[in-house]
């Protein structure tokens, strides 16, 4: 009876750890570009291009653990990877003020640093037990290998497809800023002395929608008193951005956590009249003609004839 219980407990540890790894991989794969940004915010810009490899590795380990494919090897590899993740997070917390580990991508669980460390320690203990108590298996059922052969390429495809995408605004948080006074929003620390008509453009250097919006952004100069651009601080991508494109406007670099409080999708544009946010636009910024209703609110004398 005790042996059966021990085997059931080991199997539970293995499947639980596998679910954690697979869930983490899928949630990151949905928006791989955001995981790239997170690695850079951790302070490891050099390894950020390896983000897809990390996601696929998590998927392989998760599937291997869940379906008991080479269990001992998968447990050891997962153990080492979890140790590496824990050390990386501790470094980011102490030296770069990262509190949310971002372990589960689009699943905003808002785990505290203490909870994250405790969770990782428990996961390490589970994986260690699985590694020590599970015999090495050289034979694997055909259906398990077939399942892995289907899931891993599928996750790999999603990872590559979303490499340049950012986390969408799933909680629609920025809509809550509309019609609010500026001092009641996270924008207050970045817009110290708002003009009568202010446009705030939040963007990422690696976002293709942001790059396509820059030309239209400059057209708004004749309709607002000032344009404030807030860029996600990502040094490597910024260098490439400046190498091929001169934006034609000034911008301020802000951290991942500062941007996360404002918006979770790039680009996001806020229109501020006096000290109140009157409109926000998420996604590609169209020309002033297509946002005529917004411009009318800023400048009652505006008409299409003005720019013909």
Give residue-wise pLDDT tens across range 172-192: 444 568 888 998 899 988 988
Are 78 and 37 found together in one domain?
A: yes
Cα 24 to Cα 6: distance, rounded to the nearest angstrom:
27
Please choose, from the candidates 183, 210, 192, 193, the residue with its C-alpha nearest in 3D space to the C-alpha of residue 283: 210
In this predicted structure, the answer to whether residue 306 has a pLDDT above a threshold of 60 is no
pLDDT for 92 equals: 82
Decide if 147 is inside a domain.
Answer: yes
Are 56 and 30 found together in one domain?
A: yes
Give residue-wise pLDDT tens across range 215-224: 889 899 888 8
With vertex at residue 265, the alpha carbon angle to CA 34 and CA 197, rounded to the nearest 5 degrees, is 140
pLDDT for 42 equals: 79
Please choose, from the candidates 140, 147, 101, 141, the residue with its C-alpha nearest in 3D space to the C-alpha of residue 123: 101
Give residue-wise pLDDT tens across range 32-81: 877 887 787 777 878 888 999 999 999 999 999 999 999 999 999 999 99
Are 177 and 252 found together in one domain?
A: yes
pLDDT for 165 equals: 65
Please choose, from the candidates 268, 271, 301, 262, the residue with its C-alpha nearest in 3D space to the C-alpha of residue 282: 268
Are 19 and 147 found together in one domain?
A: yes
3-class state of residue 17 by DSSP = helix
- Total number of domains in the chain: 2
3-state secondary structure 137-163: CCCCCHHHHHHHHHHHHHHHHHHHHCC
CATH of the domain at 303: 3.40.30.10
Are 155 and 181 found together in one domain?
A: no
Q: Compute the average pLDDT of residues 219-233.
A: 89
Q: What is the DSSP string of 83-137?
A: HHHHHHHHHHHHHH---S--TTTT------HHHHHHHHHHHHHHHHHHHHHSPP-
pLDDT for 260 equals: 83
Domain of 190 in residue numbering reads as 173-307
């Amino acid at each position: 009876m005790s042996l059966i219980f021990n085997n059931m407990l080991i199997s539970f540890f293995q499947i639980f750890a596998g679910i954690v790894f697979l869930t983490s991989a899928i949630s990151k794969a949905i928006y791989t570009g955001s995981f790239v940004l997170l690695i850079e915010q951790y302070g490891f810009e050099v390894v950020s291009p390896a983000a897809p490899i990390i996601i696929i590795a998590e998927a392989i380990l998760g599937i291997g653990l869940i379906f008991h494919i080479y269990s001992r090897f998968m447990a050891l590899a997962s153990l080492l990877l979890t140790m590496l993740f824990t050390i990386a997070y501790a470094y980011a917390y102490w030296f770069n003020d990262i509190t949310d580990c971002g372990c589960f991508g689009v699943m905003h669980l808002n785990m505290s640093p203490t909870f994250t460390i405790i969770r990782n320690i428990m996961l390490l203990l589970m994986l260690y037990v699985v590694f020590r108590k599970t015999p090495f298996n050289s034979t694997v059922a055909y259906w398990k290998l077939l399942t892995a052969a289907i899931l891993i390429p599928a996750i790999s495809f999603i990872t590559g497809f979303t490499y340049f995408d950012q986390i969408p605004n799933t909680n629609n948080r920025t809509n809550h800023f509309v019609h609010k006074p500026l001092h009641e929003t996270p924008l207050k620390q970045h817009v110290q002395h708002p003009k009568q008509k202010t446009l705030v453009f939040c963007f990422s250097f690696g976002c293709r929608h942001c790059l396509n919006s820059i030309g239209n952004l400059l057209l708004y100069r004749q309709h607002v008193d000032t344009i404030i651009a807030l860029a996600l601080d990502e040094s490597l991508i910024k260098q490439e951005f400046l190498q091929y494109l001169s934006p034609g406007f000034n911008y301020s670099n802000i951290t991942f956590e500062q941007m996360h409080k404002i918006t979770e999708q790039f680009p996001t544009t806020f229109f501020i009249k006096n000290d109140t946010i009157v409109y926000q636009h998420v996604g590609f910024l169209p020309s002033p003609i297509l946002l005529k209703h917004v411009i009318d609110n800023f400048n009652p004398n505006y008409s299409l004839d003005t720019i013909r």
